[in-house]
């Protein structure tokens, strides 16, 4: 019997990919927690830590430890955007103008994501969105200021 692949419309595939990227830190959470008598890591441990933070600090407040953990991913994501933008701009366009354009487009997407998508989908607080946005955009701005 041949395995049949379920047909998924293109917008749903994009949505799945976006959700995968957004939840990547949850799945890679390295700290262990006890859940139902078992020590677990990854998404189960992350969900428990998030629930504890929400109980302690209120809905939408991650606490220092989880906020720092997620900001590390945002920072490395920003570095990845810089690297990929540089590769695309130099390999396909051989232009520093294209590099600035790609970083500008990334900044617009990050702005849309942090202040619209994340607020709608995950009820993200404005303050968290602003912190996330700064961690994403500042490395790009610093790079453009010094090397652009």
Are the C-beta atoms of 43 and 36 separated by less than 8 Å? no
Q: How many structural domains compose the chain?
A: 2
Residues 83 and 96 in one domain: yes
Domain holding 126, by residue range, is 62-148
What distances in angstroms separate CA 117 from CA 24, 77, 113, one per listed residue?
A: 17, 18, 5
What per-residue confidence (pLDDT) applies to 94? 86
Domain assignment of residue 139, yes or no: yes
Domain assignment of residue 15, yes or no: no
> What pLDDT digit, counting tens, does each position of 90-102 carry?
999 988 899 999 9
Residue 40: which H helix or E strand, with range?
strand 38-40
Burial class of residue 115 (count of CB atoms within 10 Å of its CB; 0-12, 13-18, 19+): middle
Residue 147 in this model has a pLDDT that exceeds 80: yes
Residues 127 and 148 in one domain: yes
Domain assignment of residue 127, yes or no: yes
Confidence of residue 19 (pLDDT cuts 50, 70, 90): confident
What per-residue confidence (pLDDT) applies to 5? 44
Residue 40 in this model has a pLDDT that exceeds 60: yes
What per-residue confidence (pLDDT) applies to 15? 81
Residues 30 and 95 in one domain: no
Residues 84 and 113 in one domain: yes
Domain assignment of residue 67, yes or no: yes
Domain assignment of residue 77, yes or no: yes
Residues 74 and 119 in one domain: yes
Residues 42 and 72 in one domain: no
């Amino acid at each position: 019997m041949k395995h049949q692949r379920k047909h998924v419309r293109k917008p749903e595939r994009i949505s799945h990919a976006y959700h995968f990227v957004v939840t990547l830190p949850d799945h890679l959470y390295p700290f262990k927690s006890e859940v139902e008598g078992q020590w677990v890591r990854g998404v189960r441990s992350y969900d428990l830590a998030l629930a504890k933070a929400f109980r302690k600090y209120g809905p939408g407040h991650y606490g220092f430890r989880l906020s720092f953990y997620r900001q590390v991913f945002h920072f490395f994501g920003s570095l990845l955007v810089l690297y990929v933008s540089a590769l695309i701009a130099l390999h396909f366009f051989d232009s520093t103008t294209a590099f600035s354009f790609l970083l500008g487009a990334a900044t617009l997407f990050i702005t849309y994501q942090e202040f619209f998508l994340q607020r709608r989908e995950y009820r993200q607080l404005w303050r968290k969105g602003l912190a996330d946005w700064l961690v994403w955009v500042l490395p790009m701005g610093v790079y453009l200021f010094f090397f652009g």
